[in-house]
């Protein structure tokens, strides 16, 4: 995923989440019914929600990745406030040396080992609660979409590990370099 694609994904998720949230100062009611249903929903139940279908369509995902859109919808429904300045893993990690993060190192390791949308749904809902329901919507949505992806998952979890320990500046970035063709090398 290029930086432009990632930025677009984060913005779509943020707009989708914002449309569901009430904005009393503007007299906007949001969609409290959809939020309540998504908070209680299993992934299968979330897939039947029109707002999940809309998110899936807006993100431009394939049929095979519909469960990822449901995962994003279920977890984001638990978030009450967007914190765009701080990545989720960084917010969960220790804020200074010698301190324990909101998510202990052991629980963080368990989270990094988490696979499957249903298990991730439970784990990330708990993480949102531990963070006081205040997280970076775009970062969380993008991470959830990549977490169980065969190609992007390892890079996503690696980025989370670096961010958790406030070493995001040192995290490997970009696409992995393609393996060289060994037949071409031996022929030369």
Q: What is the mean pLDDT of residues 6-13?
A: 94
Of 7, 115, 20, nearest to 59 by C-alpha is 7
Is residue 162 assigned to a domain? yes
CA dist., res. 172 & res. 170, Å (int): 6
81-109 b/e with 16+ CB inside 10 Å = b?
ebbeeebbbbbbbbeeeeeebebeeebbe
CA dist., res. 55 & res. 15, Å (int): 10
Q: What is the pLDDT of residue 73?
A: 97
138, pLDDT greater than 90 = yes
Number of structural domains the chain divides into: 1
Region of 98 on the Ramachandran plot (φ > 0 left; ψ -120 to 50 alpha; else beta): left
- The residues near 109 (Cβ < 8 Å, ≥ 6 apart) are none
Portion of the chain with pLDDT greater than 90, in percent: 72
* pLDDT tens-digit readout, 95-118: 877 778 899 999 999 999 999 999
- Tokens standing for 35? 């939020």
Is residue 121 assigned to a domain? yes
Per the model's pLDDT, the better-predicted residue between 113 and 25 turns out to be 113
Q: pTM value?
A: 0.85
- Residue 104 sits in a domain whose CATH number is 1.10.520.40
Range of the domain at 151: 3-169
Is residue 7 assigned to a domain? yes
181, pLDDT greater than 80 = no
14, pLDDT greater than 60 = yes
Tell me 157's DSSP state.
Answer: H
Q: What is the pLDDT of residue 170?
A: 73
Is residue 186 assigned to a domain? no
Contact criterion met (CB below 8 Å) for 9 and 145: yes
* pLDDT tens-digit readout, 57-91: 999 988 888 999 999 999 999 999 999 999 999 99
């Amino acid at each position: 995923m290029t930086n432009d694609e990632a930025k677009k994904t984060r913005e779509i998720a943020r707009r989708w989440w914002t449309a569901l949230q009430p904005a009393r100062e503007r007299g906007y009611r949001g969609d409290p019914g959809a939020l309540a249903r998504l908070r209680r929903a299993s992934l299968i139940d979330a897939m039947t929600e029109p707002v999940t279908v809309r998110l899936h369509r807006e993100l431009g995902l394939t049929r095979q990745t519909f469960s990822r859109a449901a995962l994003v919808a279920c977890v984001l429904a638990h978030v009450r406030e967007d914190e765009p300045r701080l990545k989720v893993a960084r917010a969960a990690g220790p804020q200074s040396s010698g301190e324990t993060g909101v998510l202990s190192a052991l629980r963080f390791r368990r989270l990094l080992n988490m696979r499957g949308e249903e298990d991730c749904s439970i784990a990330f809902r708990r993480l949102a609660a531990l963070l006081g329901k205040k997280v970076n919507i775009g970062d969380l949505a993008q991470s959830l979409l990549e977490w169980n992806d065969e190609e992007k998952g390892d890079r996503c979890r690696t980025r989370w590990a670096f961010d958790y320990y406030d070493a995001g500046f040192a995290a490997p970035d970009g696409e992995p370099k393609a393996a060289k063709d060994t037949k071409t090398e031996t022929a030369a």
